[in-house]
Homo-oligomer: A and B are copies of this chain.
Amino acid sequence: MSDTNTGVPSLVGAPLPSPVPADEYERCPVTEVVRRIGDKWTMLVIVLLGRRAHRFNELHRGIEGISQRMLTRTLRALESDGLVDRQVFPTVPPSVEYRLSPLGRSLLTPLSALADWVVEHGDELGRAGGTETDVVGPGGGPA
């Protein structure tokens, strides 16, 4: 299912015979996206906009702790990524609505998979054991 010849030959697949050169990983597509949405606020915005369209200050109040600056930046980034659509109403006072683009909405699906994982395994994260460093006896190792 995940298997297309784009550099991501299914993450869960068995160890492939030809261990793809390092260059392939350098521009790993998953990494790209994760880095895109991996910053401090992006995910929160996506989640909020995943529910319904929001106006600027609506988001500003909805995401406690975010500054105007970062909200603007985050929205601009999402916009230029084509994940959110921005709609300006030239009223007085002006108002702007942000909503997830079709592309952005399609992203919600894999994101839900992640959410599912967190719901199921999230409690095992954090401090999964301080000293599980498993030392085997001499002579058993590779080198």
Q: How far is the CA of A64 from the CA of B119 in the complex (A)?
A: 34
Name A47's contact: one of B6, B25, B86, B118 (CB within 8 Å): B25
Count identical subunits in the complex: 2
> Does A127 belong to the interface (CB within 8 Å)?
yes
Q: How far is the CA of A65 from the CA of B101 in the complex (A)?
A: 35
How many residues on A have C-beta within 8 angstroms of the other chain's C-beta atoms?
A: 94
Q: Which residues of B contact A87 (CB under 8 A)?
A: 133-136
Q: Which residues of B contact A126 (CB under 8 A)?
A: 80-82
**A11 with B115: CB separation less than 8 A:** yes
> Does A111 belong to the interface (CB within 8 Å)?
yes
Whole-angstrom distance from the CB of A115 to the nearest CB of chain B?
Answer: 4
Q: How far is the CA of A31 from the CA of B48 in the complex (A)?
A: 12
Q: Which residues of B contact A11 (CB under 8 A)?
A: 47, 50, 108, 111-112, 115
Q: Which residues of B contact A139 (CB under 8 A)?
A: 91
> Does A70 belong to the interface (CB within 8 Å)?
no
> Chain A residues in contact with chain B, CB under 8 A?
1-2, 4, 6, 8, 10-12, 15-16, 19, 22-23, 25-26, 28-40, 43-44, 47-48, 50-52, 55, 61-65, 80-83, 85-91, 93-95, 97, 101, 103, 105-119, 121-122, 124-130, 132-143
